[in-house]
Amino acid sequence: MTKKVREKVILAFSGGLDTSFCVPWLKEQGYDVITVFVNTAGFTTPKLGAIAKRAHDLGAVKHANIPAEKDLYEKIVSYLIKANGLYQGIYPQLCGDRYIIVEKCIEVARRERTQNIAHGCTAMGNDQIRFDVSIQALGDYRIIAPIRDIQNTASVQVRDYEIDYLRKRGFSIVQAHHKYSINQNMLGVTISGSEIDRYDEPSEEAFVLTKTVSAKQSEYITIQFEHGMPVALNGKKLPGALLLKTLNGKAAAHGIGRFIYTGDCIIGIKGRIVFECPGLHTLLVAHKALEDAVLTKEQNQLKNLLGQKWAHLVYSGLYFDPLRNDIEQFLDSQQTYVTGTVTVKLHNGTAVPVKYSSPYILQEKDTVYAQTAAWQPHEAEGYIKLFGMSTVLASKRM
């Protein structure tokens, strides 16, 4: 008798609770599971080995560890910095690695000649939209979402169900999974669950990167930018991803980049998370200080609008919309003169750009704001009269 060939499915795998649950569940549905871990955080070789072992122990027939730091930096981080792309003015797109994960999973699916791609997203979160829309935008694939499927068949507390499911089958549960859901990549760490979801103060144990500091001595660092991108730290040229990781360590030691955020989710509800992005936060404040000095007022105003739109697209699962590429082409052009060096003071949870220099600062000779000027007082009076004329005339007719 010919043995029935089992269908393959590519599972985006992190080794966390949700994707750990997916492996045996998919296997029990009759699939050969191929797990794909997309490394966007610089995990150590032992950690990568532990994730691969976890996948095989759970029943995966194959596992792939795919390095993707360069992709994440070039496609997401670079434009996040250029756009100052903070969703609702605070959230720095730590979710951006989802699009890289989708691209890598599709590459594996093509090699394995399968149209089945699975993820561990729930029916309550934003990531299901980011995964599903991106997969659909990149080809004709069948999306399998095990956790959504179990939610369709029963009203369950997802985490409790997953833990019970794995324990009944003899699989261990990582201790951290009992309390928090933790996602980490090059940009930083996102933490949810437990008291965070209840709108209580997060416990100190929730934080992964940053340290609580009270009176740690200040540290000054210099960041050199070329065309809007950081290229050197303290005078040392570094590749972008390594510069960000190095800065993560320096800024985290000062307690910088720790945030508690309640925002408008894609799905129409409020979501509360804790996130840490020490290096990225430091880069953003330095970049903004330099940018404010070298761009014109009109450039800055339009840039703010387009940066917000870029952030909306990336946050909302619409990374592959053509408008995102249109905005990035604008940013590439607009950042031409964002070149110079910024000195940042790291101290007690704050990163403050205290000094910067650039050959392109828009500074009139012999002019200092509110001190000295290259024009005559009567010229200022004439400008004020013409500038405010419409407002003055309208006010007088009331």
CATH number reported for the structural domain that contains residue 91 in this entry: 3.40.50.620
Co-location of 143 and 214 in the same domain: no
The span from the CA of 19 to the CA of 360, in Å, is: 49
Mode of pairing for the β-strands spanning 116-118 and 258-264: unpaired
pLDDT on residue 145: 97
Whether residue 50 lies inside any domain: the answer is yes
Co-location of 192 and 162 in the same domain: no
Co-location of 147 and 193 in the same domain: no
- Residue identified by tokens 């800024």 is 251
Co-location of 101 and 32 in the same domain: yes
pLDDT on residue 1: 47
Q: Return the CATH number at 256.
A: 3.90.1260.10
Co-location of 193 and 170 in the same domain: no
Whether residue 64 lies inside any domain: the answer is yes
Within 10 angstroms of residue 46's Cβ, the number of other Cβ atoms is 8
The residue ranges of the chain whose pLDDT is under 50 are 1-2
pLDDT on residue 365: 84
How far does Cα 367 stand from its chain's mean position?
Answer: 40
Whether residue 302 lies inside any domain: the answer is no
Whether residue 83 lies inside any domain: the answer is yes
- 31 backbone dihedrals φ, ψ, rounded to 5°: -100, 150
The span from the CA of 387 to the CA of 224, in Å, is: 38
Co-location of 215 and 348 in the same domain: yes
pLDDT on residue 178: 59
Within 10 angstroms of residue 44's Cβ, the number of other Cβ atoms is 8
The span from the CA of 68 to the CA of 227, in Å, is: 24
pLDDT on residue 152: 85
pLDDT on residue 193: 87
Q: Can you read off the two tokens belonging to residue 383?
A: 């400008």
pLDDT on residue 3: 53
pLDDT on residue 215: 67
Number of domains composing the chain: 3
pLDDT on residue 175: 60
The span from the CA of 68 to the CA of 98, in Å, is: 11
- 12 backbone dihedrals φ, ψ, rounded to 5°: -70, 115
- Structural domain boundaries, residue 193: 185-295+337-357
Return the axis-axis angle of helices 322-334 and 297-315, rounded to nearest 10°: 150
